[in-house]
Structure 1
């Protein structure tokens, strides 16, 4: 059995993975809070998609591969199958998106939260073990069934709590605390699943094919940066509840305001009356003799 090191670079990789999970959870909770306040199905779909990308793509998937940067097996190199790695991304985002769709439509109840958490938790576990299956090394991967089952239970519980928080938490401080809690749960699930792994090396070293860690690091970091920047921009550009209230108030003022009749300028010294009189047929124009003498 080969020696496994989960923290080859010390505390850097677990600290970064936790930071990613907290950041993605925070942005995801903020986006999910907009789902139930959205005015139309298009807005609900948009905010649900952003929340799924934040939680599934950043808090779960990017956190997983950031933690995998510190994973090493003595006696073999580690490579990754790119199609399977991409498939794990789709699984994570889709699972979270469907879970949000379950709890984000209609009246929120315990059955919805439990059902969405069960589906999402299984999807998160599937993402984790799909990402593990994408590893290519000179050996065979074996898992302890008990710890695998425990990691799945942790994923289901974490997903259920995350969905419940996404639909109920609104305050900034509460969202930050919930994100910290979700970061602990996601990392706990990951390292519990990793502790179930054992590697048996092959007798002879074979050629290991696939993308290296450094090759995957650049696109992962760029994807995280673009996702985070896009989410922050979407949140800043979206109208808040105060903006909607102000717009509704101004619209109500315009509707309730009485119609103002156009006002005419006052007639100076009866010029309008004189012009009307002079314009009648048969009315003589004043002569110079009729004019008053100059003073």
Structure 2
């Protein structure tokens, strides 16, 4: 596996986390359809790129002792699971005017269990001429890490604001997400079977690479738009300033 793939996987998790936090900040300061838009962007960024994209970036660099193929339908289903559970967690945790702890805890539990489900669903997409087994204790630890990481991530989406704070929180979130993945991988044991034919190399890895690459490019574009687009408070300030300037100009014309 080396060190290059884990670093790239961490950067993918960081990028998705950063856009997710930025989008969550926008969602907190908006309402209506615009709020729903930013929540959707946050769910896709954190769940689709930060979690799922990191997972399969790491998987593409993992050698299991023989050729590996992936069931594309199951793989894409695991991506949908990640996005949906993060979206549900955001809706629960970012309830307006609710500072109680239980929405955060409930959102973290739902999202964490969903993220763990995404991981092991994605692992079930592996097609390999080997027997795969899991250590129960390590699996339980990976699920616990997922719940704690998800709760921390949702707390960040609820509280974090400002570029530097988003940067620091994204570094922490990416560390938690990759930590859960590699803990889950540590739970897996692979026993290569010599009695079955080798799995031929196919295009699934290329397809997933293109999906992750395309998602990353889209995230960068949306990230730039998010940085340059004012939130609701910013628009109100701009409109108020425009009104003041118009009144000042009208008074100057009448005098």
Per the TM superposition, whether the score is higher than 0.5 is yes
Aligned to 2:80: 90
Maintained 8 Å contact 2:132/2:189: yes
Deviation at residue 255 of structure 1 after TM alignment: 6.9
CA distance in 2, matches of 1:215, 1:259: 64
Note if 1:148 corresponds to 2:139.
yes
Deviation at residue 222 of structure 1 after TM alignment: 2.0
Find 1:122's aligned residue among 113, 118, 137. 113
Aligned to 1:222: 214
DSSP 3-state at the match of 1:73: coil
Find 1:51's aligned residue among 16, 25, 42. 42
Find 1:68's aligned residue among 36, 59, 63. 59
Deviation at residue 174 of structure 1 after TM alignment: 1.3
The structure with the largest alpha-carbon Rg is 1
The 5 A counterparts of 1:255-270 are none
DSSP 3-state at the match of 1:239: coil
CA distance in 1, matches of 2:226, 2:244: 27
Maintained 8 Å contact 2:72/2:204: no
Deviation at residue 35 of structure 1 after TM alignment: 1.3
Note if 1:31 corresponds to 2:27.
no
Deviation at residue 185 of structure 1 after TM alignment: 0.4
Note if 1:11 corresponds to 2:15.
no
DSSP 3-state at the match of 2:28: coil
DSSP 3-state at the match of 1:141: strand
Aligned to 1:161: 152
Deviation at residue 221 of structure 1 after TM alignment: 1.3
Aligned to 2:173: 182
Deviation at residue 205 of structure 1 after TM alignment: 2.3
DSSP 3-state at the match of 2:20: helix
Deviation at residue 239 of structure 1 after TM alignment: 1.6
Output the TM-score relative to the length of structure 1. 0.79
Find 2:189's aligned residue among 191, 198, 219. 198
Which of 1 and 2 has higher RCO (CA within 8 Å, sep 6+)? 2
Deviation at residue 123 of structure 1 after TM alignment: 0.8
Maintained 8 Å contact 2:45/2:219: yes
Maintained 8 Å contact 1:82/1:211: no
CA distance in 2, matches of 1:228, 1:89: 19
Maintained 8 Å contact 1:80/1:135: yes
Question: How many residues in Structure 1 have an aligned counterpart in Structure 2?
Answer: 252
Aligned to 1:41: 32
DSSP 3-state at the match of 1:205: coil
Maintained 8 Å contact 1:33/1:169: yes
* Structure 2: 5+ residue stretches without partners: none
Cα RMSD (Å): 2.3
Deviation at residue 226 of structure 1 after TM alignment: 2.0
CA distance in 2, matches of 1:212, 1:54: 22
Maintained 8 Å contact 1:81/1:211: no
Find 2:125's aligned residue among 119, 134, 152. 134
